Structures are given as structure tokens and as C-alpha cells.
Amino acid sequence: TPFYCYSTATLERHYQVFKDALDGLDAGICFAVKANSNIAVIAALARLGAGADVVSSGEMKRALVAGVPAANILFSGVGKTEDEMAAALKAGVLQINVESAPELETLSAVASSLGIDANVAIRVNPDVDALTHEKIATGKSENKFGVDWPDVQGVYARAAALPGIRVTGVAVHIGSQILDLEPFRRAYGMVVDLVGTLRADGHGIEHLDLGGGLGIPYDRGMTPSPAEYAGVVRDGVGDLGCRLLFEPGRVIMGNAGVLVTRVVYVKE
């Protein structure tokens, strides 16, 4: 002691509940490694078919060691370095979620130097309040995440013109520990309109990364179930003809572990 003990049964049950909720949809589940980067945890989920959502080359290496195929890894994150971009491209990850116009330019240069086309989704910021704690809200205009909504169409046009860039999708993630489904509904409705606009502009939108963020109970209160969340997904984006990608983290991992320790001293 001390050590962390994780319940495989809990991980498997939570993953299966989330997967079952999406039954009938063309969906991929990529565990958000930032929720728990323990290799044994990632491996347990990988055995069930989970991919990984990573935000650094370190997390990517952990996912690969744990048995997640590179083709099931999403590379996200606001601060990717050139070395990390190169590592992701060489590994052959499914998609790189680009957060900004400067990042797009850098990725183009890195991909061109390697002679590899980067599969890219642009993360968009829909300016939707996730109704969660301000420090874990990521979808409002004042947040640092994603491309501002008014700039999205222009960034996609730039992406299409850059060498080494292959636009494959749209990404959106509005926050974490979300307990109200309405923000998801609003954001996804905006994404539907955006996909129509982008396709009319000639972009091939194959993937729709809907992020994560579904909350869990900390105080025995009621929280939306994965099935209820999946209903919002079906109603909102189920008919777009896209492969849907999800990045659950907390909802799978939140109560799956305990810290085992022992008392060494008692000081009065």
C-alpha cells in the first residue's frame, strides 16, 4: 500500500451499457485516456473493442502498449507539438482533431514533410453553455477550445487547399460532467446544419466526433442515462450518414476504482 485497485467488472459493465445504448448506429467508442491513463485500465477496455481518445504522444504510447489499434485512436488536444503530430501520423491514427487555424498550418507542414496525408476533423466551438462547472466547460465562445463558429467555414476551405491534409469530419466537445441533455441537443442541432453547409462546399464529411462529457452522480442525484443520451444522438444526427465517434471517460471510469491504503500513525 498504497495502491489503486480497479474493478474490471465495473469497467466492462459501464462500457457495455454505453455500447448497447448506441446499438443500431454506426458508432465507435474511444475511451478518453485523460480519465485514467493506467495501462491495465486501457487494456481492459481495448479487449472489449474500445478505441482511445488521446491528447499527447505519451497517452498514445500507453494506448498502443495496451493493445488499442492505431486505427482506433483519436488524437485530440489544444497543444500538439510538431513531434507529436509526426508520431501520430507515423503510427497511423484514425484522425487528428485540429483545434485552430495555426495548428492546421503546422500539421500540413509536418504531414507534407513525411509524405503522409493527415485525416483531419476540425473541432468546432458552437458557443453552447454545457451548464456544468465553468472550469470544465469547453463549448462557449470564451473558451480556448475549437474554432469559433463564425470562422469554421473559412478554416475548412483553408484545410481543403493545404497539402497533406485530408478533411474527414467534424468534432465537437462542449464540456464534462454534463447533467442536462439540452446542451447536447443544441450543439448537435448546430452541427447538423454545419455538415450540410460543408458538404455543399464540397467537403467529404465521413466522421462526426461528438466528444464525451456525460455526467455521473456524486451525490445520489439523478443523472441522464447513456440510453437517454443516445436518444438525443439518434434524434439529432442519426440520419447524417456519418460514422459517429464518442469519447466517454468519466461515465465509464468514475466509480470503478478505490485507493487502498493503511493507517501508519494516529496523531492526537
Along the 268 residues of the chain, how does pLDDT read in single tens digits?
Answer: 999 999 999 999 999 999 999 999 999 999 999 999 999 999 999 999 999 999 999 999 999 999 999 999 999 999 999 999 999 999 999 999 999 999 999 999 999 999 999 999 999 999 887 777 778 777 667 778 899 999 999 999 999 999 999 999 999 999 999 999 999 999 999 999 999 999 999 999 999 999 999 999 988 778 999 999 999 999 999 999 999 999 999 999 999 999 999 999 999 9
- What b-and-e string marks burial along 17-41, b requiring 16 or more CB atoms within 10 Å of the CB? ebbebbeebebbbbbbbbbbbeeeb
Beta strands in 18-149 (DSSP E): 27-32, 51-54, 73-75, 95-98, 118-125, 147-148
148, 193, 197 from 154: Cα distances, Å? 11, 16, 12
4, 185, 189, 199, 251 from 234: Cα distances, Å? 37, 10, 11, 20, 19
Q: Which residues contact 193 (CB under 8 A, 6 or more apart)?
A: none
Report yes or no: 187 and 172 within 8 Å, Cβ to Cβ: yes
Residue entry with cell 475549437: 146
Q: What is the pTM of this model?
A: 0.93
For position 127, what pLDDT does the model report?
Answer: 80
| Spatial separation of the C-alpha atoms in residues 52 and 252, rounded to whole Å | 13
Which DSSP category does 117 fall into?
A: P
Which DSSP category does 22 fall into?
A: T
For position 130, what pLDDT does the model report?
Answer: 78
Q: Which residues contact 30 (CB under 8 A, 6 or more apart)?
A: 50, 51, 52, 53, 72, 73, 74, 245, 246, 247
Report yes or no: 50 and 68 within 8 Å, Cβ to Cβ: yes
| Spatial separation of the C-alpha atoms in residues 121 and 105, rounded to whole Å | 14
Closest Cα to residue 183, out of 193, 172, 194, 170? 172
Which DSSP category does 70 fall into?
A: G
For position 74, what pLDDT does the model report?
Answer: 98
Amino acid identity, position 221: G
54, 166, 223, 267 from 158: Cα distances, Å? 25, 11, 41, 64
Cell numbers placing 246:
464518442
For position 90, what pLDDT does the model report?
Answer: 98
